[in-house]
Amino acid sequence: MCLIIYSPDGRIPKKHLQRGLTANPDGWGYMFAMDGEIIIRKGMERNAFWAQWRADRPLLTGPLVWHARIGTHGGRDVTNCHPFEVRGHNLAVVHNGIIGRCAEAGNPLSDTRLFVMTVLEQLPKGFLLNRSVRKLIEAFIGNSKLAFMSPDGTVDILNERLGEWHSARWHSARWYSN
């Protein structure tokens, strides 16, 4: 199963990134907000991750959502690496789990990518503000987790209770999907 790490202050220990990449070898990605935009980075190779991470490190001082993928549906290529833009909503999202209703055998797109296109992008603007819509999404995705980011850096996690918050003395708490 994939891994999501949400860090409100942009700090993630290197050993957690290394473990995440080792256990989830089918791509990586992360998102952060800068100047009113959501910046999305993603790729397949570990070396490319570390090079991009080092280049972005000085910028990562606020909310950051990181994802490592283990492919269950769809191709093992950058097309299926998270985060995904939720077109028309000024949001980006990462997912942990399997959305069975969107898993199509033989489809080159992952269950997550199909969910974003066929469900999230069809919802009315501001859907995250509607408690009933949030509950419907959580019911639809079952035990999966979704982490959304807005251009101002606000992060919203659906099924947050299924993950864990960990804190340390030197930084703010981080949320781990599993």
pLDDT digits (tens, 9 = 90+) for 10-55: 999 999 999 999 999 999 999 999 999 999 999 999 999 999 999 9
Say how many Å lie between the first and final Cα of the chain, rounded: 9
Comparing 53-57, 110-114, 150-154, 165-169, which segment has the lowest mean pLDDT?
165-169
Residues 133 and 68: their CA atoms lie apart, in Å, by 27
pLDDT at 170 over 90: no
pLDDT tens for 90-141 read 999 999 999 999 998 899 999 999 999 999 999 999 999 999 999 999 999 9
The residues pairing with 31 across neighbouring beta strands, listed in sequence order, are: 40, 65
SS3 178: coil
pTM of the model: 0.96
